[in-house]
Structure 1
Amino acid sequence: MALILKERPIFMIGAERSGTTLVMALLGCHSRIAVPEVVWYYPRFYPYLHTYGDLSVEANFRTLAEEMVFGLKTPFWGMKVNPRTILDEVIELAPERSFAGLYAAMHMRFARYVQKPRWGEKTPHNLYFVGPMHHDFPDAQFIYITRDGRDACVDYLESSFGPTNIYCAAHSWKRCWNAVKEWREPLRERGLWLDLRYEDLVREPERVMRGVCEFLGEEFEEGMFDFYKTDLCKARGASRDHAPLGKPISDKYVGIYKDLLSPRDQRIFAAVAGKELEEAGYKNDVEPEMPSDLMIAKYKEFDGRIRAATLDGFEGHIVYESYNDWLIDQREERRKKGLWDPATAPRPFPIGDPDEEMIIGQRAWAAWKQHFCVKRRYVGDVVL
């Protein structure tokens, strides 16, 4: 059943390293909009809801609720809660016994905590689930943040969690761009879609954010530009991957690919995602050079090896990854209990897709984690 809430939800999406976190931080400083840390709920749970059994059964519904409530990368989004009662509080807030009901309840609980009437959410890979999200929240508004794919890929390659070579980075950016094509115009016509360019935002922040607020039906507030003073941005800004969040908006990261991508890598990007780059409104100024099949195979294999081997390295995502792996274990346990049968189970996207593990938020492939005997870790001290 579709949920119509008193205040329309706001979803911020886009390829990773495209400025989605910046937009999250800006809107989170609006006096009426509550935006918690990233959740990954749709990628993590939506394709696998069938593994919980009938959610009208209280035990099954509570299992889903527990995994959602206690599985946040930032525990309870920083809310001071009683761990013994928070699960019941969220369940009581749920407008219906469904995944969407729990999703709404979690964000309503956060909005109530920070005393704001409206909530938004930013998970980049929600872009793969625009259809289900629109179905669940038919009046929700989407903001798609686009950044020059070459700059986004540079940031990906420099990060502690992304692809490790230009071929795989360009492939990821291309998939993200193509994933929303069918939704852009239909939702725009209904006033539910806004395209925002990262470069415009950092060069003309006030003009762009006035447009964002107009789209959302909210008053523009200068206080949004104090985002870097918040606890969230101070914590994120202390890490290498999110250092810009600890400072005011700057356009210094526009065009970084010119210094940080070799001419050959620029040609590879053009071969893999040049068409999509031009569709996004950016000029492609090199001749494409597609690697050989043998080299592509090497790119893919080495990407898998490096991702797995560095999970527990500097600012690695081993804690985040360990919880994702634990969720997969729980699905298997429910199968053993007879709650679902792979032979008759539905196969919604991205189940069976070659990129399934990356789309749902894994940072490394299971096969390579097993190959390197990567041990799980559930406690960390680094903000990611």
Structure 2
Amino acid sequence: EPLHAFGMWLLRMSACIRALESEVPTLLLRYEDLTSDPETAIRKACDFLEIEFRENLLHPDQNEYWRTQSFHKTWGQSPTSGKISTKSVGQYKKRLTAEQISLFWHTRLTPLGLAMFNGSYDNPAEVMSALGYGEENKSESSVPFKLDVSTRDTAQALAEGWLAINHHGMEQA
């Protein structure tokens, strides 16, 4: 369900921004930066973690641990299973339909959603801007989208249920 995925992305990215805005030391390392200039990105991570940069960090496929541990091979999580590359940047444009892209840019968190998850950003454009993406990454589509009645009704029922549970819990206290 794209709407659910977009909403979850919005919530997660809003949480990342809250972390960046907090007093807790947090590093923003964008995938695009890692793929376009791996050495600079890895050096930035090492500086943040206060560890020494080593050249072999740029070549995880040469690391004995990653080559030999079957757990990583089984689940396809080994760096040797595929290199990070710029090829995957922007893949959403090929994998999502124009209507899905339009739905993404029009996704909004409700006030209830913002309150439930202590969110501060309710739409993708604000999130992308806060994460340092410029207008060139914004690809609003003019394709109209429609939420079908069942999706809208389900969202409404969930919100009402959450409010009822929360209200009932407050009465108990």
| TM-score range relative to shorter protein | 0.5 to 0.7
Q: Tell me the alpha carbon deviations over residues 306-355 of structure 1, each in whole angstroms, 9 at most, x when there is no partner.
A: xxxxxxxxxxxxxxxxxxxxxxxxxxxxxxxxxxxxxxxxxxxxxx79xx
Aligned ranges 1:118-267 → 2 under 5 Å: 165-187=1-23, 192-228=25-61, 229=63, 230-231=66-67, 235-239=71-75, 242=77, 246-267=81-102
Structure 1: how far apart are the matches of 2:152 and 2:80? 36
Q: How many angstroms does 1:243 deviate by?
A: 7.4
Residues 1:247 and 1:216: Cα distance change in structure 2 (over 3 Å): same
Query: More helix by proportion, 1 or 2?
Result: 2
* TM-score computed with the length of structure 1 as normaliser: 0.30
Aligned ranges 1:18-33 → 2 under 5 Å: none
Residues 1:264 and 1:243: Cα distance change in structure 2 (over 3 Å): farther
Q: Tell me the alpha carbon deviations over residues 151-200 of structure 1, each in whole angstroms, 9 at most, x when there is no partner.
A: xxxxxxxxxxxxxx211111111000112433323336xxx211111111
Count of residue correspondences: 134
Q: How many angstroms does 1:235 deviate by?
A: 4.2
Task: Give the letter for the 1:178 counterpart.
Answer: S
Task: Show structure 1 runs of 4+ deviating over 6 A.
Answer: none
Structure 1: how far apart are the matches of 2:75 and 2:58? 20
Structure 2: how far apart are the matches of 1:246 and 1:167? 31
The aligned residue for residue 286 of structure 1 is: 140
Which secondary structure state, in structure 2, belongs to the residue aligned with residue 201 of structure 1? helix
The aligned residue for residue 333 of structure 1 is: none
Structure 1: how far apart are the matches of 2:68 and 2:149? 44
Structure 2: how far apart are the matches of 1:233 and 1:225? 19
Q: How many angstroms does 1:233 deviate by?
A: 7.3
Structure 2: how far apart are the matches of 1:170 and 1:267? 11
The aligned residue for residue 124 of structure 2 is: 274
Which secondary structure state, in structure 2, belongs to the residue aligned with residue 213 of structure 1? helix
Which secondary structure state, in structure 2, belongs to the residue aligned with residue 252 of structure 1? helix
CA contact (8 A) 1:226 1:248 kept: no
Which secondary structure state, in structure 2, belongs to the residue aligned with residue 255 of structure 1? coil
Unaligned ranges ≥5, structure 2:
108-122, 156-161, 164-173
Residues 1:293 and 1:209: Cα distance change in structure 2 (over 3 Å): same
Task: Give the letter for the 2:102 counterpart.
Answer: R
Query: More strand by proportion, 1 or 2?
Result: 1
Task: Give the letter for the 2:48 counterpart.
Answer: F
CA contact (8 A) 1:233 1:246 kept: no
CA contact (8 A) 2:17 2:131 kept: no
Structure 2: how far apart are the matches of 1:243 and 1:171? 29
Structure 2: how far apart are the matches of 1:252 and 1:233? 27
Structure 2: how far apart are the matches of 1:246 and 1:235? 12
Residues 1:293 and 1:200: Cα distance change in structure 2 (over 3 Å): same
Residues 1:266 and 1:223: Cα distance change in structure 2 (over 3 Å): same
Q: How many angstroms does 1:244 deviate by?
A: 6.4
RMSD of the alignment, in Å? Answer: 3.2
Q: Equivalent pairs: percent with the same residue? A: 25
Which secondary structure state, in structure 2, belongs to the residue aligned with residue 169 of structure 1? helix
* TM-score computed with the length of structure 2 as normaliser: 0.62
Residues 1:243 and 1:210: Cα distance change in structure 2 (over 3 Å): closer
Structure 2: how far apart are the matches of 1:232 and 1:291? 49
